[in-house]
Amino acid sequence: MENQVIAEPLHSEAECKRSLTAVGDALYVIGGKWKLRIIIALREGNKRFNELQRTVTGISARVLSHELKELELNGFVKRNVYTQIPVIVEYELTEYSNSLNDVLQSLSEWGAMHRDKIRRER
């Protein structure tokens, strides 16, 4: 990693500021350890709370409940209550969550690429 040259042209200060703001906005809403992982888990299909907790390995019930509320507030997740007996509560992705497809795709590709790189370097 010595004497590396940055191939990309350097960005202007104004571009940098705009990009910082937009990425800051994005991270504010979908950043953190869990939100994107919860969204990915729900892409497989609607899930009840316990199923979701099993899929998103390592999340506590308290944190999952908090994250789901924020995801609902921001319009990514819908909470469906079926008033039969016993009552069933299911979480479902909204159409707006599809707006994250490019973000998820690029993160997923980068994560796989980075894992390969680490593996090769060992």
Interacting residue ranges for a second copy, rule: CB under 8 A: 1, 4-8, 10-13, 15-16, 18-27, 29, 31-33, 36-37, 40-41, 43-45, 55-56, 75, 78, 92-96, 98-115
Cβ distance to a second copy smaller for residue 45 or 88: 45
Cβ distance to a second copy smaller for residue 12 or 86: 12
**Edge-to-edge strands, sheet with 88-93:** 47-48, 88-93, 77-82
Cβ distance to a second copy smaller for residue 32 or 89: 32
Q: 86-113: buried (b, 16+ CB within 10 Å) or exposed (e) per residue?
A: eeeebbebeeebeebeeebeeeeeeeee
Q: Is 88 helix (H, G, I), strand (E, B) or coil?
A: strand
What residue type is assigned to position 116 of the chain? Answer: D
We find the least distance from the C-beta atom of residue 65 to a second copy, in angstroms, to be 20
* Nearest by Cα to 43 from 103, 112, 94: 94
We find the least distance from the C-beta atom of residue 32 to a second copy, in angstroms, to be 7
Cβ distance to a second copy smaller for residue 65 or 109: 109
